């Protein structure tokens, strides 16, 4: 897409009025402007930059706008540039392939004529097959845990409860592993597109911190540079994200200024619903006078 075309599109779009900060479905809504072109916005109540999970969810919904009866089984995404929540995002869908059993889509997210994010997703005709899965870890029930509050003190659309929370400023070193309970606060309904989009949104929450744990640092550590580089997700089984889901995470490696985090998302009944992986930028910038 050319800069001129992008500018014409975005200049003609008006931001919807602010809504309920807990209404995640409304904040993810897309406006169709052509056969494979969509406009999306980010909420402005949590800073200037797009939350990575938000753009993942919107890109998946844009892909779903071009897919009829098939269900996403995997997505792979790269974060290229920081997104700006004060201007719209153009989502351009490429209908890469419609096969007998699988459909492939590529989605490019554009602001000011430049890619900020891209995603490839594959969709499959549901079918029966061989089955096995890992067991869900035995952890404290979510009802026994406190909800984690946003560091900006703004309402979150996702209820998050950590089984092993860290105190602010805690410099102790912990194993690179944790479990987090998650669920959507507002009713989603049975639409599998929205169920997957909201789970994809949540899969980028409380994730990168797992790679920081063995180093005794957190988001407020002076000089820490961090950002999501890529994100992959595989959907294994149906789920209802209005019910609690356990996000079991580990970080097998940090090196070369990057950290790798993996996760498994279980329903409360113990069904492995999705797997997630992310590589992130993470290093401590030396002091200027060093």
Residues with catalytic roles = 204, 228, 278
Range 23-53 burial, b when 16+ CB lie within 10 A, else e: ebbebbbbeebeebbbbbbbbeebeeebbbb
- H/E stretch holding 98 reads strand 89-98
Q: Which two tokens stand for residue 38?
A: 């969509």
Helix (H, G, I), strand (E, B) or coil at 8: helix
Quote the CA–CA distance of 183 and 158 in Å, as a whole number: 6
The number of CA neighbours under 13 Å toward the Cβ of 90 is: 26
DSSP H helix total and E strand total for the chain: 5, 12
The owner of tokens 């719209």 is 88
In the sheet that holds 31-34, the strands lie side by side as 31-34, 37-40, 89-98, 102-111, 114-124, 71-79, 224-235, 272-284, 258-267, 245-255, 177-184, 158-162
Helix (H, G, I), strand (E, B) or coil at 24: helix
| Burial (0-12, 13-18, 19+ Cβ within 10 Å), 272 | buried
Quote the CA–CA distance of 247 and 145 in Å, as a whole number: 14
Measured CA to CA in angstroms, residue 216 lies from 58, 244, 262 at distances of 34, 29, 19
């Amino acid at each position: 897409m050319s800069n001129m075309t992008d500018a014409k599109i975005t200049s003609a779009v008006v931001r919807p009025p602010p809504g309920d900060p807990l209404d995640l479905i409304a904040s993810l809504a897309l406006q169709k402007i052509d056969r494979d072109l969509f406009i999306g916005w980010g909420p402005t109540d949590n800073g200037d930059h797009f939350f990575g999970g938000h753009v993942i969810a919107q890109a998946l919904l844009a892909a779903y706008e071009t897919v009829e009866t098939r269900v996403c089984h995997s997505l792979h995404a790269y974060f290229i540039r920081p997104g700006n929540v004060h201007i719209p995002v153009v989502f351009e869908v490429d209908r890469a392939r419609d096969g007998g059993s699988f459909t492939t889509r590529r989605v490019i997210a554009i602001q000011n004529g430049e890619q900020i994010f891209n995603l490839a997703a594959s969709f499959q005709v549901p079918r029966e097959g061989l089955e096995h899965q890992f067991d869900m870890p035995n952890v404290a029930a979510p009802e026994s845990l406190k909800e984690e509050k946003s560091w900006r003190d703004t309402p979150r659309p996702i209820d998050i409860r950590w089984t092993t929370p860290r105190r602010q400023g805690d410099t102790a070193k912990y194993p690179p592993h944790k479990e987090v309970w998650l669920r959507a606060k507002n009713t989603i309904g049975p639409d599998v597109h929205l169920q997957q989009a909201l789970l994809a949104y949540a899969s980028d929450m409380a994730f990168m911190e797992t790679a920081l744990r063995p180093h005794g640092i957190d988001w407020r550590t002076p000089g820490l540079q961090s950002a999501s580089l890529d994100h992959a997700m595989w959907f294994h089984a149906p789920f209802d994200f209005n019910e609690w889901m356990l996000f079991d995470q580990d970080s097998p490696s940090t090196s070369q200024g990057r950290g790798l985090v993996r996760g498994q998302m279980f329903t409360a009944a113990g069904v492995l619903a999705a797997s997630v992986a992310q590589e992130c930028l993470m290093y401590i910038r030396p002091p200027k006078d060093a």
